[in-house]
Structure 1
Amino acid sequence: MRVIVLTKPFGAVEPARLAGSLAEAGADGADLVIRAGQTVSPDKPGGITAVAKELERAGLSLDVVTTDLLGEDDGETAGRVLAACGDAGVPMMRVGFYRYDPALGYGQRLERARRGLATLARSAEHHGVRLALQLHHGTIHPSGALALRLVEGLDEVRFYADPGNQAKEGSEDWRLHLDLIGERVACVGVKNATWTQGADGWTCDWQPFADGGIIRWAEILRSLRERGYTGPLSLHVHYPAADPLTALRRDLRYLRGML
């Protein structure tokens, strides 16, 4: 399994500097976040090619582009981003989060999300890019079962599994999770969390991967190996870090040790 890095903590650094930092940390590639305040923003998707070239010069690859695209009122932005991914040879784009809205209700939210995802899937196929739906808390796709329901009829869509996000939402037996979506898992987000008690009660908060946490990563990695998973592991530094590169280097070294 290759280890790539979600670029979110580095902000809007130049492509060459981003590639150099990831190479210095010991990553195999990047999971590039396309967002305002990042190296590449949705309104200037041509930057994806620049990042891909700098990563290649550093001996790394651009495995995933992570976006907030939903296919709902995205206009021409989605098409431009997917075209840029295709031109740069990026194999997979993660779509945004279809948030659960109790005022709207699950049924209506599901119907709208399916329309949006189908729109993105058609454009992705045209540009030779595969879509991935991330399992995420606060959405209508926090679990394997609910994610499968959302993508019914869209067999080309893959899943971006994320045990950390599932810990925020609740819990799901990892073996059941892989039984449900294992063959369609194309990326696995890697981070850890812990429960902390504050004035407002207990909360699940991110913490350095190297410090351990409530997610049983040794068991998860073993399960992935046993099932023949060969896709990337995307390491996330979601906790506050004064020096993202130092934090990344420490977490990455710990993950390499587990592998």
Structure 2
Amino acid sequence: MPVSRRAFVRGTLAVAAAPLVTHAAADQVATGAITIAGPSSPLLFFSKHLGELAWPDLGRAVREMGFDGVDLTVRPGGHVLPARVSEDLPKAVAAIRDGGSRVVMITTGLTSPGDPAARPTMAAARGVDVRLLKAGYYRYAFADVRKELAEATTQFRGLVQLAAEAGVVLAYHNHSGYIGAPVWDALGMIAGLPAGATGLYFDVRHATVEGGEAGWRVATQMAAPHLRMLAAKDFYWDKGRDGRWRVVDCPIGEGMVDWKTFAAEIRKAGFTGPISLHVEYEPGGRTPAEKTDRMREAAARDRARLAALLG
């Protein structure tokens, strides 16, 4: 789907001229924001972890847990299915607002400008004034990593063109194990693209997995000029009985992420965008209802810990 340079630039200028999260200023519905540098960063909850809840119930749960809003899954198996995004995203946003919360960003599975859901997702997001989107993931086959990175870069750049046309920002996530996990690769993917249409969804947990003792801090500083959103989660390495080392997810503040130093780095960067909290570990519970309750309790605890560590 070719896009003219004129359309690309026109769309990019439209994005750059408009506020990224207008609801953040208009709707002070919760008190979970974190003041890092200047205005508070809205603290969001990633809706994947309450995927069993209907939209209004999700809004109520997120508000009751103390979060400012929702990072909503708009991808296969998510709270909004890509094939129905034009019809359902407005309904989901309205229902979540009726529940007392709001949608600040959406997490998509988009990896190709040829995806039939790409344009509708971006148009629907702009239509409900949610302008921050996270892209999907590209995998290394480890047959020819240079070629695989180049192919992923071409696909992602095509999506950014569509984002510029739609007036939204499509950010890339440095997820360990995927293309772009080393932040310098992700930076190469967005190099030369307009800042008003793309950037990084930076994840210090994954940067620490990939970067070890100091690499994560180098990655944070390299990513700093391009930050659009942050992900918050924690982990540690564990050696199993088979002698192999594994990444184990854990509550915020109980793992290997150096939150104090990270807070200093993002404060220095002047970051004021949204922070999406993830509970990737298993919080317990035997029945579906108990699992939902334990998830909500874990999320509220992690929210409080994160606010203390970053504030």
TM-score if structure 1 supplies the norm length? Answer: 0.92
How do 1:139-178 residues align onto structure 2 when only pairs under 5 Å count? Answer: 139-156=178-195, 157-171=198-212, 172-178=214-220
> CA contact under 8 A between 1:12 and 1:40: conserved in structure 2?
no
The alpha carbon displacement at 1:24 in A equals 0.5
Q: Which has the larger radius of gyration?
A: 2
* Corresponding residue of 1:34: 74
SS state of the match for residue 44, structure 1? Answer: helix
* Corresponding residue of 1:124: 163
> CA contact under 8 A between 2:238 and 2:246: conserved in structure 1?
yes
Structure 2 residues not aligned, in runs of 5+: 1-40, 284-290
Check if 1:18 corresponds to 2:61.
Answer: no
The alpha carbon displacement at 1:77 in A equals 1.1
* Corresponding residue of 2:246: 203
Deviations, residues 96-153 of structure 1 (Å, cap 9, x unaligned): 11211212x1222122212211221121112111010001111221122111112223
* Corresponding residue of 2:12: none
Query: Aligned partners of 1:57, 1:17: CA distance in 2, in Å?
Result: 9
TM-score if structure 2 supplies the norm length? Answer: 0.77
* Corresponding residue of 2:301: 250
Q: CA RMSD in A?
A: 1.8
* Corresponding residue of 1:135: 174
Query: Aligned partners of 2:137, 2:234: CA distance in 1, in Å?
Result: 20
Which of 49, 52, 55 aligns to 2:93? It is: 52
The alpha carbon displacement at 1:49 in A equals 1.7
* Corresponding residue of 2:286: none
Pair 1:73–1:85, CA change in 2 (3 A) = same
* Corresponding residue of 2:112: 71
Check if 1:43 corresponds to 2:83.
Answer: yes
> Aligned letter for 2:229?
C
Check if 1:110 corresponds to 2:167.
Answer: no
SS state of the match for residue 104, structure 2? Answer: strand
The alpha carbon displacement at 1:166 in A equals 2.2
> Aligned letter for 2:95?
E
Query: Aligned partners of 1:219, 1:2: CA distance in 2, in Å?
Result: 20
Deviations, residues 175-234 of structure 1 (Å, cap 9, x unaligned): 422332211101111000012221232211111225x11111121112211321111111
> CA contact under 8 A between 1:19 and 1:55: conserved in structure 2?
yes
Structure 1 residues not aligned, in runs of 5+: none
Query: Aligned partners of 1:31, 1:160: CA distance in 2, in Å?
Result: 12
> Aligned letter for 1:255?
L
Identity %: 27
> CA contact under 8 A between 1:12 and 1:37: conserved in structure 2?
no
Which of 254, 259, 264 aligns to 1:217? It is: 259
Query: Aligned partners of 1:198, 1:56: CA distance in 2, in Å?
Result: 44
Does 216-225 or 87-96 show the bigger shift? 216-225
Query: Aligned partners of 1:254, 1:204: CA distance in 2, in Å?
Result: 21
Query: Aligned partners of 2:217, 2:229: CA distance in 1, in Å?
Result: 17
Query: Aligned partners of 1:95, 1:130: CA distance in 2, in Å?
Result: 10
